[in-house]
Structure 1
Amino acid sequence: MIGLALKLLRDELSEYVFRNKRPGDSITQDDIILHNIALMESENSSDLSNKLVITLVNTEEESTLKNRSNALKTPNGIKYVEPPVFLNLYILISSTLGQDLQDAYEFALHRLSLVIQFFQTKKNFTIKNSPFTTISNDTNILQEIKDDLRLNVELYTLTFEQINHLWGSLGGKQVPFAMYKIRLVKIQEDTKVIAPIIEEIRTDS
């Protein structure tokens, strides 16, 4: 589910950035990617240059939805199922620099502006309101899972100290970036126990 949630955002963001890029910007829809920005300083760093890179940097359980009943009423009785885990995801969107572009930093800043502009315009995401995602046509994904994809995205501001720790832990040089908090990603195993309806109460002594 985490991967699907980020793929949904990636698909919608890539379409927006591609349609609103500046003249002369060579970025394509395939250049908005899900990847680990920590590999920017590795030998294959060229794979991450001149792109918008979406990286998951933290997960957090939504505490307000933690204590829920595991008993659900059905026409056939009571269904016992462990309540789902609702996660908040923290993603880092990095606008990396192109090595062969004279105005690489300026293009990177403009792309980051488009990211912020996009999420300012659209904060809530579902399959139905996301026409550019390929998830909706994927027959390998259950419809129930698609229906559970309901994401709320908000900009998450870091302090200078947190920024220093973040990029230090990623082991790379800082590039233009923004962090977002995504609520709520539902995680639930498809297991359940059904108890029959109580039809008779015995009071044997």
Structure 2
Amino acid sequence: MIDRALLLLKEELESYLSITDAAATVVIDNIGLFETAAGTQLPDNIVLTLVNLEEESTLKNNTPLKKGYSNAVYQNPPVFLNLYVLFVCNYGGSKYIDALKRLSYVIQFVQGKNSFHYASDTGSLPPGEDILDMKFTLELYTLTFEQINHLWGSLGGRQMPFAMYKLRLIALTSNNRLREVPLIEEIENNNAPINR
């Protein structure tokens, strides 16, 4: 599900950029690998990198019971995640102005459409049962200078134009049923009334 959320985001951003800046390309990769042999496809791209995730604590206490028409199913509730996604405009030297321009386009894209739902968005994502339930929102996540220093230190130390967004509420579940029981349809009371 995490991969599908980022693929949907990439696809939508590419669609937006095809109108505003057709030369811009988007890749999903680890920006921390930029100065390594594995980072050869990272230069001159907008790079989407997952840098952190957290469980949404407000939705942690869901009930494990789901009622159907003829039975009740017990299964562990889904894990709701918030993903922290880094949009890095990886253009250096004389292309630095392109990095700033494309970072502006990324921010405009999210400002214009910050809510995503697979059923309403078209694309070529891989099929899956859980894809129908995929919906999330994006909100700009502002870091302090100290947090930026720590972030880029852990990613290799070289800061590039970037924006971090909090992708809210990805639901992960294995749909593993713990048990299934029939619903209680009626209650019989065969006890005689108590006289007082």
**TM-score, normalised by the number of residues in structure 2:** 0.89
2:23 to 21, 26, 29: 26
Alignment length (residue pairs): 189
Distance 1:82 1:201, change over 3 A: farther
Secondary structure in structure 2 of the residue aligned to 1:54:
strand
| Secondary structure of residue in 2 paired with 1:41 | coil
Give 1:202 deviation, angstroms: 9.0
Structure 1 residue 6: deviation in Å?
0.6
| Residue aligning to 2:145 | 160
Which sections of structure 1, spanning at least 5 residues, go unmatched? none
| Unmatched tracts of structure 2, length 5 or more | 191-196
Q: Cα RMSD between the aligned structures?
A: 2.0
- Aligned residues of 2:63 and 2:77 also touching (Cα < 8 A): yes
- Alpha-carbon distance between aligned partners in 2 of 1:53 and 1:32, rounded to the nearest angstrom: 6
How far off its partner does 1:59 sit? 0.5
Query: Matches of 1:44 and 1:189 in 2, distance apart?
Result: 32
Question: Is the 8 Å Cα contact of residues 118 and 133 (structure 2) preserved in structure 1?
Answer: no
Q: Partner residue of 2:162? A: 177
Question: How do residues 1-205 of structure 1 correspond to structure 2 at under 5 angstroms?
Answer: 1-21=1-21, 26-27=23-24, 31-97=25-91, 103-131=94-122, 133-135=123-125, 138=126, 140-142=127-129, 145-192=130-177, 193-198=179-184
State how far apart, in whole Å, the 1-side matches of 2:49 and 2:159 are: 14
CA displacement at 1:191 relative to structure 2: 1.1
Change (3 A) 1:128 1:71: closer
Tell me which structure has the larger Cα radius of gyration: 2
Identity %: 45
Shift of 1:97: 1.2
Q: Is the 8 A contact 1:48 1:96 kept in 2?
A: yes
With structure 1 as the length reference, what TM-score do the two structures score? 0.85
